[in-house]
Structure 1
């Protein structure tokens, strides 16, 4: 990739003034003598913000305030909660430039990728605000005895939900999991990743401007090793997005406390390009699938299986598009690829590629860091000849790196796509929609997109999204994405006759009567 397709770093935009940053950090639940931590701008390595960190005592105090606020919030009619969230939706769209600057400055992604987070939260907010009354409303259920048993299903809020959100999608993850929890009547105590905490704090600040009562949503800042136990010990439910290793520990601890947890974890996501695929469309889709947010996307494609019959043509088209991408920094829409977010990710990407090359893999595009652009830039990279002894063969890279493998039969492609402990997202490309959906149904993944990378399934917020296998437990989006934050309750009112024999009827006669009744219900098709 040449410098002809590179943009050098630029200064922070005026919107990120010290006064605005100070206003946001004031919303952190931390004592006056808190230890401070400084975050940096990934593009340049320059300091961005100094944040107070929370102690375990600060976390406990935040939960205490949240419990007080939650009882009043839960008593508020759903229509009022909906109105607050819809005001948040409108403010988000009106003030999007503020958060776009923040996301880029904290994460290092392009403005296009940052804007997709704005659209994501707008869609999710609108969906849950307008679905909450229906999802939470009491529902009549079939009773044990027709007519005589009146059965109702209710949904009560869990109480105070802990949300632990990652750095890779600071707005989508920083607000997306809190929104349905809040609409369901819960309070939220959230620990965003420190590096991207300002974006989450901006969402919280905007929610207060929209009318959210004080104490209902709070932010704590700190390492999991410092405040993770306090979050777990006080939560009524826990939502976590992060690594599989951390997710296992959280699942274990939640099990000990007998509370629920929803976990979206790692992925090594496959893309299958069938021999009848539209090559230009598939090559364009591959660029988005592999390199959006510099590959730091849980649903990003890292393995690509291409039909042998079109392999050469597809690879040529994909490589050409990748080499033409504009890599660099700009607080506008002029770049295609930003940088990685932290040194750890750069080290992982570098180590995975160097290991693969040393063991015989071929680099078709990229394959090197770009310190001339900034400390954390790495070129979008395409590899072939990757074999099982190479680290990136089955380990998640979480960067702008993809490996291409040929196949001859569809069964082979599906088998290889499923040969992973992970099962988060997948992509299938074909001109035949019915065939694409049939192949998708055979792929072991929580979401599978046909002729799209990931946005089609992710943006279908009326349908559940989550992982299989080592990619997690539970779902976000859809009814599950809200109802997981509730305690279902069944109320059954038995009228007139019960389950004991009526007066004057023997037990044996009553049993005979019920036997006839049950048989008759089956014969007339009753459920």
Structure 2
């Protein structure tokens, strides 16, 4: 009698860390704006595939109710002095740093990323919260503007909050994307109704919970859970402004719907980001930079690099260094800083990665590193993968993979490199490497992307929160960070007080003579160099 071979057991993976307690989960789940008898949805841990959280699902009626509460709360919040909002946000800053282990554990449990990648989100929110706490008063204060008639027209620009802002945030950076845009909206005096991706709803709820602990008044920030197909229309119909981070296809629909309602929208969408390695680049630094550019959060990062363009004269040296570094990356699951690459987040992402690689290799692409799923490590792990000989007929040539996959292409000269980098419809982020900083910046200025980093992957531009960040082309509309990030959440109002005399003729003066006088005045103003 023969015995059938045993079915290999799936890797057990690490158990949830001690900070993720039933009490914490219960407190966060209670923050969802949903009815007591709401249907439930269960999320799973990417590391193991085991059930993680049981979240209530919000209905369109729940969304309507959340907006009603938010509108009531927003009126009082808008009347709260900016100095008081600042104190709350600085307390939130301190709480995020002090309680970061909870957030790191939740991000890893829900997303599957490494702890080092999760920690970058802590840094991001610390930087963003401090920045807007300290700059909001300057951005929002009334500003004197040059009047129509010098000395006679007193003109002031005022900034009013939009009202209630809808924030739809993705699963790939669950703290940065949930809190980053919300911080600016709140500091501008808005209320926020947010729909995070269900898979990473706990991290978003943790962030909101901490903001309330810091002193945010009740109902100013609310969270709903559900599929866009179910509650998306209610979110759009009630919003005074839309902020969305996600796919280009969904972004187009949101833009169209916002246009019908004549409300504004800020959209950070897809990307197929290029990195250019010029002939004079420091190859070792460029290879290390490529690893940092291509494989953070298992490649599930909007600004990560999927296309590498390398000067022919240094191609072989660069490829050898890059491949060697990639093969040394430690892949695995752990709630510590011991791994370089973690898990993909959803089965759909793993399917996309494996399908793109299979299509490319079937059509002639060569795998230089990686290329395999790693079920021995966990259900959704995949090796960092480097491809060459990638051609336009392959899906991953110009379609976003959003995984740990990059293709390498040679170029002859700088003009070809820029042309290749600018090919395609996206324009989110890019990277250029050269020992000559001026040359690198000159190349960067010619790349069609909202942010371009010189001798860095993406963190330099992303972390420069005083400067705008966003996409061109199919990568989106609007900007986060800097003045743009908060002013987009406001309505500009001009108050002009005309004193003594305006543009109408004074009593007793013929209109023709008045026109002649005004014409002479315009000429004099120009001659005096006035604006």
TM-score band (shorter)? over 0.9
- Tell me the residue number matched to 1:3: none
In the alignment, the residues of structure 1 paired with residue 53 and residue 156 of structure 2 have an alpha-carbon distance, to the nearest angstrom, of 51
Matched, 1:505 2:505: no
Question: Which structure 1 segments of 5+ residues have no match?
Answer: 1-6
Q: Residues 55-94 of structure 1 correspond to what in structure 2 (within 5 A)?
A: 55-94=59-98
- Tell me the residue number matched to 2:3: none
Which of 435, 438, 449 is matched with 1:434 structurally?
438
Matched, 1:262 2:282: no
In the alignment, the residues of structure 2 paired with residue 480 and residue 190 of structure 1 have an alpha-carbon distance, to the nearest angstrom, of 20
Matched, 1:489 2:489: no
- Tell me the residue number matched to 2:168: 164
In the alignment, the residues of structure 1 paired with residue 243 and residue 458 of structure 2 have an alpha-carbon distance, to the nearest angstrom, of 22
In the alignment, the residues of structure 2 paired with residue 231 and residue 505 of structure 1 have an alpha-carbon distance, to the nearest angstrom, of 57
- Tell me the residue number matched to 1:4: none
Task: Tell whether the 8 Å contact from 1:427 to 1:449 is kept in structure 2 after alignment.
Answer: yes
Deviations 1:95-149 (A, max 9, x none): 1000000000000000000000000000000001100000000000000000000
Which of 320, 330, 355 is matched with 1:326 structurally?
330
Does the residue aligned with 1:491 lie in a helix, a strand or coil?
strand
Task: Tell whether the 8 Å contact from 2:184 to 2:485 is kept in structure 1 after alignment.
Answer: yes
Which of 197, 222, 239 is matched with 1:218 structurally?
222
In the alignment, the residues of structure 1 paired with residue 328 and residue 482 of structure 2 have an alpha-carbon distance, to the nearest angstrom, of 38
In the alignment, the residues of structure 2 paired with residue 11 and residue 390 of structure 1 have an alpha-carbon distance, to the nearest angstrom, of 39
Query: How many Å apart are 1:176 and its aligned residue?
Result: 0.6
Q: Residues 347-426 of structure 1 correspond to what in structure 2 (within 5 A)?
A: 347-426=351-430
Matched, 1:300 2:304: yes
Does the residue aligned with 2:295 lie in a helix, a strand or coil?
helix
In the alignment, the residues of structure 2 paired with residue 250 and residue 503 of structure 1 have an alpha-carbon distance, to the nearest angstrom, of 54
In the alignment, the residues of structure 1 paired with residue 172 and residue 19 of structure 2 have an alpha-carbon distance, to the nearest angstrom, of 21
Matched, 1:141 2:145: yes
In the alignment, the residues of structure 2 paired with residue 227 and residue 18 of structure 1 have an alpha-carbon distance, to the nearest angstrom, of 28
In the alignment, the residues of structure 2 paired with residue 172 and residue 423 of structure 1 have an alpha-carbon distance, to the nearest angstrom, of 21
In the alignment, the residues of structure 2 paired with residue 504 and residue 234 of structure 1 have an alpha-carbon distance, to the nearest angstrom, of 54
Matched, 1:462 2:466: yes
- Tell me the residue number matched to 1:516: 520
Q: Residues 243-258 of structure 1 correspond to what in structure 2 (within 5 A)?
A: 243-258=247-262
In the alignment, the residues of structure 2 paired with residue 9 and residue 524 of structure 1 have an alpha-carbon distance, to the nearest angstrom, of 75
Does the residue aligned with 2:495 lie in a helix, a strand or coil?
strand
Does the residue aligned with 2:381 lie in a helix, a strand or coil?
coil
Deviations 1:314-340 (A, max 9, x none): 100000000000000111101000010
Q: Residues 341-352 of structure 1 correspond to what in structure 2 (within 5 A)?
A: 341-352=345-356
In the alignment, the residues of structure 2 paired with residue 32 and residue 334 of structure 1 have an alpha-carbon distance, to the nearest angstrom, of 41
Does the residue aligned with 1:170 lie in a helix, a strand or coil?
coil
Task: Tell whether the 8 Å contact from 1:153 to 1:490 is kept in structure 2 after alignment.
Answer: yes
TM-score, normalised by the number of residues in structure 1: 0.98
Which of 113, 123, 128 is matched with 1:124 structurally?
128
In the alignment, the residues of structure 2 paired with residue 182 and residue 404 of structure 1 have an alpha-carbon distance, to the nearest angstrom, of 43
In the alignment, the residues of structure 1 paired with residue 92 and residue 469 of structure 2 have an alpha-carbon distance, to the nearest angstrom, of 23
Query: How many Å apart are 1:8 and its aligned residue?
Result: 8.0
In the alignment, the residues of structure 2 paired with residue 307 and residue 9 of structure 1 have an alpha-carbon distance, to the nearest angstrom, of 42
Query: How many Å apart are 1:350 and its aligned residue?
Result: 0.1
Question: Which structure 2 segments of 5+ residues have no match?
Answer: 1-10
In the alignment, the residues of structure 2 paired with residue 121 and residue 420 of structure 1 have an alpha-carbon distance, to the nearest angstrom, of 32
Query: How many Å apart are 1:9 and its aligned residue?
Result: 2.8
Deviations 1:337-364 (A, max 9, x none): 0010000000000000010001000000
Q: Size of the alignment, in residue pairs?
A: 521
In the alignment, the residues of structure 2 paired with residue 239 and residue 10 of structure 1 have an alpha-carbon distance, to the nearest angstrom, of 35
In the alignment, the residues of structure 1 paired with residue 69 and residue 500 of structure 2 have an alpha-carbon distance, to the nearest angstrom, of 46
In the alignment, the residues of structure 2 paired with residue 64 and residue 402 of structure 1 have an alpha-carbon distance, to the nearest angstrom, of 46
In the alignment, the residues of structure 2 paired with residue 484 and residue 105 of structure 1 have an alpha-carbon distance, to the nearest angstrom, of 33
Task: Tell whether the 8 Å contact from 1:9 to 1:328 is kept in structure 2 after alignment.
Answer: no
In the alignment, the residues of structure 2 paired with residue 224 and residue 288 of structure 1 have an alpha-carbon distance, to the nearest angstrom, of 32
Query: How many Å apart are 1:501 and its aligned residue?
Result: 1.1
Note the aligned Cα RMSD (angstroms).
Answer: 0.7
In the alignment, the residues of structure 2 paired with residue 385 and residue 8 of structure 1 have an alpha-carbon distance, to the nearest angstrom, of 37
Which range moved further: 503-512 or 462-471?
Answer: 503-512
Matched, 1:180 2:184: yes
In the alignment, the residues of structure 1 paired with residue 49 and residue 22 of structure 2 have an alpha-carbon distance, to the nearest angstrom, of 17
In the alignment, the residues of structure 2 paired with residue 91 and residue 517 of structure 1 have an alpha-carbon distance, to the nearest angstrom, of 59
- Tell me the residue number matched to 1:236: 240
Task: Tell whether the 8 Å contact from 2:12 to 2:48 is kept in structure 1 after alignment.
Answer: no
